[in-house]
């Protein structure tokens, strides 16, 4: 939404359009995955680059964004090597690649080892699993997103939007960024959750009880 083309399509004033940030987005997957990756709800994403293409090797990307996978996924070593390579890359001028994970994307970072000794956020519903699987990470449960160096992690799904909004404000401050965030209607929530952990746990217990009563404990047929 920050590209000049998009801002122009939204018929914004030229003064804002001229502040737009040109960008190239690659959708990256393993070579053996093929040209399309199946997502949830039978949607498919077209792959534009593989992890072996020179255009997306460490040092070639400004940002690596990792969406949330199935939380039970165990990733192949070469996937983790790819992520780790970007997270640890340092340019001669001190530049680094920012790695952002949304929702369960933190599991990819955890398996790669780059969260060791760092603070991180993740989905509140699986915090116990995250602490068990990655005990060397300090998991921050009361924040929608956490920044630790060049690593950004967020809580469940829409908290990733809050994280990206903050990332944009820190790295691309100005009228164009604020215009894009306003049009997307994101970036206004506080980084700290409004509900405490005990309230969230109580809410879930009530919801589970209601579901059991309404459904009589029986699964629905497709």
Tally of CA atoms within 13 A in the half-sphere of 84 that contains its CB: 14
Q: In this structure, how many other beta carbons lie within 10 angstroms of the beta carbon of residue 172?
A: 14
CA gyration radius for the chain?
Answer: 20
pLDDT of res. 200:
86
Of 80, 133, 125, give the one whose Cα is nearest residue 103. Answer: 125
Whether the Cβ atoms of residue 186 and residue 169 lie closer than 8 Å to each other: no
Whether the Cβ atoms of residue 119 and residue 142 lie closer than 8 Å to each other: no
Predicted confidence band of residue 220 (pLDDT cuts 50, 70, 90): low
pLDDT of res. 63:
98
pLDDT of res. 217:
61
CATH number, span 22-171: 3.40.50.880
pTM attached to this predicted model: 0.90
Which class for 26: exposed (0-12), middle (13-18), buried (19 or more C-beta within 10 A)?
middle
Q: Would residue 91 be called left, alpha or beta, if left means φ above 0 and alpha means ψ between -120 and 50 degrees?
A: beta
The domain ranges of the chain are 22-171
Give the C-alpha separation, 118 to 84, whole Å. Answer: 14
Contacts by 91-95 with C-beta closer than 8 Å and gap 24+?
91/59
Helix (H) or strand (E) holding 151: strand 151-154
Whether the Cβ atoms of residue 120 and residue 146 lie closer than 8 Å to each other: yes
**Percent over 70 (pLDDT), the chain:** 97
Residues 6+ apart with CB under 8 A from 191: 143, 144, 145, 162, 166
Average pLDDT (140-146) is: 96
Parallel, antiparallel, or unpaired for β 151-154 and 98-101? parallel
* Dihedral, 60, 29, 135, 94 alpha carbons, nearest 10: 0
Residue pLDDT, tens place only, 147-182: 999 999 999 999 999 999 999 999 999 999 999 999
């Amino acid at each position: 939404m920050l590209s000049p083309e998009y801002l122009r399509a939204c018929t914004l004033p030229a003064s804002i359009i001229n502040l737009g940030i040109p960008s190239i987005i690659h959708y990256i997957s393993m070579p053996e995955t093929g040209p399309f990756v199946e997502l949830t709800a039978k949607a498919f994403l077209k792959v534009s680059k593989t992890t072996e293409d020179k255009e997306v090797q460490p040092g070639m990307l400004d940002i690596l964004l990792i969406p949330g996978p199935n939380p039970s996924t165990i990733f192949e070593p070469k996937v983790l090597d790819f992520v780790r390579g970007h997270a640890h890359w340092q340019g001669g001028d001190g530049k680094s690649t920012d790695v952002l994970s949304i929702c369960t994307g933190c599991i990819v970072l955890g398996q790669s080892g780059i969260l060791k000794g760092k603070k991180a956020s993740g989905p509140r519903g699986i915090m116990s699993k995250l602490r068990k699987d990655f005990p060397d990470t300090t998991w921050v449960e009361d924040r929608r997103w956490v920044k630790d160096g060049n690593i950004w992690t967020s809580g469940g799904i829409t908290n990733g939007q809050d994280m990206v909004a903050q990332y944009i404000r820190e790295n691309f401050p100005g009228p164009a960024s604020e215009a894009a965030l306003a049009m997307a209607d994101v970036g206004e929530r506080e980084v700290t959750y409004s509900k405490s952990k005990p309230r969230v746990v109580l809410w879930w217990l009530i919801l589970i009880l209601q579901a059991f009563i309404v459904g009589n404990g029986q699964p629905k047929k497709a």
